[in-house]
Structures are given as C-alpha cells and as structure tokens.
A and B are shown apart, each in its own frame.
Chain A
C-alpha cells in the first residue's frame, strides 16, 4: 500500500487520474481549480502523456471529444463559469457516446460570481449539463481520499457505459489538504473497437458523431442510450448512511456540506436528538435507496446545501409527501457552520415534539369526549 501523504484535493484528483491511465489533459485556468491543471502540466509529460492549455474552455472540451474518439483516457477540469462553457461539448460527447472525465471545482455563481466554495451547480450537473436528452454520471466526493478514489474509478465507469462522468467538488475540497493514500497505477482501459484509430482498411470505418438528421434514427439512438441509463440507475447509485438506523430527523448533504452536516448530526445525537445523515456519493443516479432505508423512522428530512436549495427538490420527489422536507443553506461562497445546522435540527426536533404532543393531546381529548 502506498504511503499516506498530505495533498490538496485538486492535486489528488490529478495524481489519481494519472494513476488510472489518463494520458491526455486539456484545460484552461480558473480559480479555485488551478492547482489541478498546474499539477497535470508538471506530471503529465513525465508519464509520456499530453498536457495542453487550450485557448478556451470550449476548445479544451472539444479536444477531450477528439482524444476520447481516438480511444484515449482523457480528462478536463474547470470551475463553474468554465463548466458552463464546456456544456456544449459535454452534450456532443453524450450524443456521440464518448467516455471522458470532467471535473468541476465549484465556485459561487451565477455569472462570474465569486471564487469561494459553492454547490450551486448541483442542478446543472444532475439535470442539464448540456442540451438534449442526456444524463452524465455525477460523483460528489467529500474528502480528499474520496476525491482520489472517485478520480481513479471514474475512467472505468465512463468506459463501461460510454458516457461522460463528472466529479463535482468545490473550492473547499479542491484547496484543502488531507491525508490520502493514492491508488496503485493501473492500465486497465478496455478495448475500444468503436474508436477512430488507423486500421489499414482492416475493417469498415468507425464514425464518431452526434448528428442524426433522421428523426427515427435519432430517437432510436436516444432510446438505446436511455436503456443504458436504466442500467446505471440500477447498478451505480451510491450513498453513505450515517447514524440513520433510528433517525427521526434525517439530514441529507453531499460534498463539503456533508462534512458540516455530519458534525451537526454528531452534536445533535449528543444532545439526545435522533438525527442521522444521508450522504449521496452519486448525485446522478440519485441514491433514492438511501432515503427509502430511512423512511420508516424519519419524521422529517433536512437538505443542507451550499446554494439556495437544489437537491432538496430531488429529495422531495423520492419522499413524495411521506414526510416534510426542509432546507438549510448558504450561497455565494458563504460556508454554513455546524452550529447553524445544529440549530436548524434542534428547531425541527422541537417542531416534531410539539406536533407529537398536540397529537397526543388531541387523541386524549377525543377519547375523553367519546
């Protein structure tokens, strides 16, 4: 096993991608993602790979398209405004069934926004990363170790399903250092018989393309792709449930805000409140199973996010009215504190207690009246 080292999240993503066999990186600098590209610029040439700083984010994502079409393991990274620019290219990749890894170290938006940590691109990543009927697998690591692990497995997942994969982190996770054990280098990329590589007329031409002018043909393509999405939804959802076995107040949070929520849940337990945490590791596919596991004991749900409330809608779709779903968050780069989240949990606990008391009183009153 490798030695445990202290690394920034951005650097761990880069090193782990290299160890997963990524040999092409195309990017354009943006805070708070810059260390990732800087690390790649130093390390990639030593691995015999290609690092290229493109003239723009749009150019970079189209270079990713090209390298992927030629069968390479390829990655790009950016931060929120840059990801919006890449949206077109990501859609083209999805439409051409091209694997590739895209990293978003989120900052505050909309527009240029700010450079402090944010989770305001949740909805973009999970619902509309580009135009058209498409999904992209989205991972939301919450520690530097998990960032390394996600980057390592993302390429395999992308190749397996022939789809772009996004790792959605933020400025806090990208900039912070934590101990990490890096994975062993591997070279396990599968054969890609569809890749557009030279073959001396040994077989018919491969064509990588997202343009299908026949409506019937395009519909067929999309339906075939959605069958693959169904497999992904069945096999790939991941979440960590923490102290949820008997939880009455179930907090749900991903990435950086999950760290804060976890501290708040631990404090709530110390105060005698039955709180628990669901931490989605995949945001798409959304880990509905993790909510179902808690529904029997849950009296209410709380989504904690670093935005104005985006994942909360997906939680409501799963909970489907079986319990109230509330939201707490900060946006624009403001980081919630565990104390604030704890205060919200305590308020919800009191509300539940109050309702339970009312219900008990109503019940007693009813009996007395009968």
Chain B
C-alpha cells in the first residue's frame, strides 16, 4: 500500500459526453490524492466543446509541486465516448494506459505502444442498478489497474465529494467503486486461463 501511495506523478485525462460525470470522476481521483497529502490539480475544459459535445478534465497527482495543470501527454486516458477516444488517443504517452468504456467505444487499437483496457462500464453499471454511475465504476477500475491511492482513501474521497445529505447516493457510489474493482479481479481470473494480450 505504501509503495502504491508513494509512486510518481500521474497525469490523467478523463473525457466523455457532458452528463456522464467525467468532471466528478476526476474530482474523486483528485480528492483521493489530497487526502493522502499529495499535490493535486484538477482542470476542466470550459470552452465551447462543453456545450453539446465532449467534456474533459486534466487531473495531476504528484509528490512535487504541479506546474501546468493542463495535461498534454497523459499517462492515463479515461474515455467514455468515441469522440474522446479518437481525440486523445494520439496524445497518450508511450506505454500509457487507455481505459475505455467498451459499451460505448469501439476499441480498435491504432497504436501498438499502448496498454489498452476496454471494459463495459455503462453496461455493468446498468445491470447492477447503478445507472448513471459508469463514471464511478470506471474510477474503481482505474484504481484497480494503477492503484493511484490506498483503497480506504478512495472510499473516503467519495464521502468528501458526495454531499453527506445524500447518504443513499454515497452508498451507491461506493457500490459503483466496488463494481469497477471487481471487474478487474474478474478479468484477472479470465486472463489466468487465457494470458492477456497486453502481458503484465
């Protein structure tokens, strides 16, 4: 756990349609970093693309003061729709991670230096009665993939980001995180039988 928390800078871009909760997902990650005493920044797109197109935000977690909060070459891209994946795929740093919602995005890989993980976040969320929480399911999966914080911190971050007045919603968000983490465990079980293409 300590080694997970002490890892180097993470520069993340999260992108999707407006309404998918992209900015919230980014805030959740940033808050987890804050709770662990790291340097964090969260920068949303606020331009015309927000009006009826894609929403995106840059999140940086670091142990050093953060320079530009605008992520140009992300280590991690989270894409919840096709235009976002198409827009940012080429910007991902070599050997970076692309985490995409395969229920909504066609995951054809154009680069061979990416760790591409497609998983059906929206479908999983809907099947579990967590409609509208694919964003948080995806944060759970990202946590399982790269461990950007301790697990308990992630759940504490939910309590900071969701109004305490909405206890039911806090619980739903935690369920969504668990669902995302479980999808990773499930995938690992499958890959033990069938080695993963990405090879870890």
Residues of A within 8 A of B (CB): 4-6, 31-32, 115-116, 171-172, 175-179, 256, 259-260, 262-264, 266, 335, 337-338
Contacts and interface: CB of A to CB of B under 8 A. Distances in A.
B41 A337 contact: no
Contacts of B16: none
Contacts of A337: 68, 72
B42 interface: yes
Interface residues of B: mostly helix, strand, loop or mixed? mixed
In the complex, the 7 A-B pairs of residues with the closest C-beta atoms, listed nearest first: A263-B67, A177-B42, A176-B43, A260-B68, A179-B34, A259-B67, A176-B69
A62 to B, nearest CB: 29
A267 to B, nearest CB: 9
Given A6-B27, A6-B31, A260-B67, A178 B41 contact: yes
B67 A32 contact: no
Chain B, interface size category, equals: 20 to 34
Contact of A176 (B34, B41, B72, B160): B41
Q: Which of B30, B40, B68 has the most CB of A within 10 A?
A: B68
Nearest to B26: A177
Contact of A4 (B34, B46, B48, B65): B34
A260 B72 CA distance: 12
B124 interface: no
B52 interface: no
8 contacts: A31-B46, A32-B46, A115-B48, A176-B44, A177-B42, A262-B65, A263-B68, A337-B68
**Interface core residue of A177, A178, A263 (most chain B CB under 10 Å):** A177
A220 B47 CA distance: 48
- Give the interface centre of A175, A264, A266 by most chain B CB atoms within 10 Å: A175
Nearest to A259: B67
Contacts of A262: 65, 67
Contacts of B65: 262
Contacts of A256: 68
A369 B57 CA distance: 65
A178 B27 CA distance: 10
